[in-house]
Amino acid sequence: MDIPQWPIAGEREAELLRQVLASDRWGGFHPFVTQFEREFAAFQHCAHGVSALNGTVTLEMALEAMGIGQGDEVIVPAISFISTATAVSRVGALPVFVDIEPHTFQIDPARAAAALTPRTRAVMAVHFGGPVADMDRLLQLGVPVIEDAAHSHGSEWSGKRAGSMGVAGSFSFQNSKVMTAGEGGILTSNDSELADRVRAIANQGRRKDGAWFNHYTLGTNYRITALQAAVLIAQLERLPEHNRLREANASIIRRELEAVPGLTLQTIRPEARIQTNYLLLGRIDAAKFGMSRDAFHRAITAEGIPCTPFYPHTLYNNPLYRAGGCRVEPCPVSEACIADAFWFPHRVLLGSETDARELSGIVQRISSSCRQPSLA
């Protein structure tokens, strides 16, 4: 298989970088930064975009700008990257871990509803792997929803783009993400006042039209550089074609692997059909598949295909949260996924149709080889 390297860049990134290098503003006040914020926010159907160092501080700023802190609770899925939870802890609030759904891998709205208390101030809707979580049901919970859309640049829920439905959306441009500047993040929102508060945090407590040395609120410096913005403008131009290509190849793989016993790829709800395919996720039922997830991972890795045997533990089983500072609701599905789920990174979907068929063929071959009757 010819699996492309990631990240992918070309002459467009180089040309925009040269323009920045030739200018006298390499920092956060080059026009490219504003241009990128405007273009990305519009792409996600949002009125505002505030760029920042990464997709961790954007989550922290969203919570801080919402006034969430000591004594508050925020509901978080037990399966995500650590930032979804640490953002809550770092503003002084309590993460409340709830289970995910068995095959969408998304936060289970019924489990979130059961975890609500008078102290609940928000729910973190992580759009895990690319498809948007069930926003219809999450928005009905009666508490603000923050979309952790780190995997979901261009993903949709019933035609609405990720980051445009909740109070705020948080995107990451870290190296593995479907568009990247190595590091970076952006917060999107349709709430002007929230966006202004977030901008003030990221830009030293300044006001939109305030003087340079006037600082009105407690802020810091989370600004990205013009070099990052230059790369991100070019990466956003590439994204629609990459999303289309990943979807075309993922569809082939989903179709070809549908009948493999004991293998279930991530269920994509019809509302979430347009999505990035950031992770091609699956679960292995060892009894039906004929080998464990770990054995499958070894076999697929031996074929030279990049694959990750899921997270090694739920968020609450990280040493950080084993020491306390959280509430844990029953999470049997999350626990099961730790043992039986895996993902392929999105670059396996950026090859040709032939590569997609070859990947399916390798998985089919591994699956049938372990169900062959013993020759002994």
Residues at the site binding ligand PLP, with contacts judged by CB under 6 A: 54-56, 80-81, 83-84, 126, 148, 150-151, 172, 174, 185
The CB density around residue 38, as the number of other CB atoms within 10 Å, is 12
CB of 226 to ligand PLP, least distance (A): 19
CB of 250 to ligand PLP, least distance (A): 19
C-beta nearest to ligand PLP: residue: 55
The CB density around residue 102, as the number of other CB atoms within 10 Å, is 15
Which of 58, 204 has the CB closer to ligand PLP?
58
CB of 150 to ligand PLP, least distance (A): 3
CB of 372 to ligand PLP, least distance (A): 38
Residues 49 and 97: beta-carbon distance below 8 Å: no
Nearest CA to 201 among 66, 302, 333? 66
CB of 314 to ligand PLP, least distance (A): 14
Edge-to-edge strands, sheet with 341-345: 263-265, 279-284, 341-345
Distance CA 57, CA 301 (A): 34
Distance CA 270, CA 276 (A): 14
Residues 57 and 222: beta-carbon distance below 8 Å: yes
CB of 66 to ligand PLP, least distance (A): 17
Token digits of residue 76: 């978080």
The CB density around residue 15, as the number of other CB atoms within 10 Å, is 11
Which of 80, 155 has the CB closer to ligand PLP?
80
Which of 85, 348 has the CB closer to ligand PLP?
85
Which of 56, 89 has the CB closer to ligand PLP?
56
Which of 266, 367 has the CB closer to ligand PLP?
266
Which of 61, 291 has the CB closer to ligand PLP?
61
Token digits of residue 341: 């789920």
